[in-house]
Amino acid sequence: MVNGRQIASARVWLGISQAELANASKVAKRTIAHIENGGRIPHDRTLKALVDCLEEMGVEFLMDDDDAAVGVGIRVRRPKLHPVIVSAREQRSPDSSPSESESGNVRKEGDRS
């Protein structure tokens, strides 16, 4: 099962806030905070909403080879911000031109492209 550390790691790697993930996944920000800090075991539908949302943004959740129920990390392939997040960021700053990350492209630190 995907765990709170994996959710938090994926969110931080993508550079999105708990509020942005909450908006995109339709899961309450408080619930995300509780899951990330290990204070709550999520309902299946809640975890599915978060995982589906993060996977849509390019996150792959890695599970233990010996026990598929144990989450061990994340990998990000072709990261792209969720359209709800892009739209919200554009609405916050309509005068400025969107940066690369706001336009949906997330660049890994050290990339020169």
* pLDDT value at 55 more than 60: yes
* pLDDT value at 54 more than 60: yes
Residues of the chain with pLDDT > 70, as a percent, come to 81
More confident residue, 77 or 99: 77
Output DSSP code: residue 105: B
User: Nearest 5 degrees, angle CA 66-CA 40-CA 48?
Assistant: 60
pLDDT of residue 105: 55
pTM of the predicted model, to two decimals? 0.76
- For 4-92, give the CATH class: mainly alpha
pLDDT of residue 66: 76
What's the average model confidence in pLDDT over 35-58?
94
* pLDDT value at 59 more than 70: yes
Q: Any residues with CB less than 8 A from the CB of 65 and at least 6 apart, and which? A: none
For residues 69-101, one letter each, b for 16 or more C-beta atoms within 10 angstroms of the residue's C-beta and e for the rest, the string is: eebeebebeebebbeebbebbeeeeeeeeeeeb
**Domain ranges for the chain:** 4-92
pLDDT of residue 94: 66
Q: d(Cα 13, Cα 5) in Å, to the nearest integer?
A: 12
* pLDDT value at 98 more than 50: no
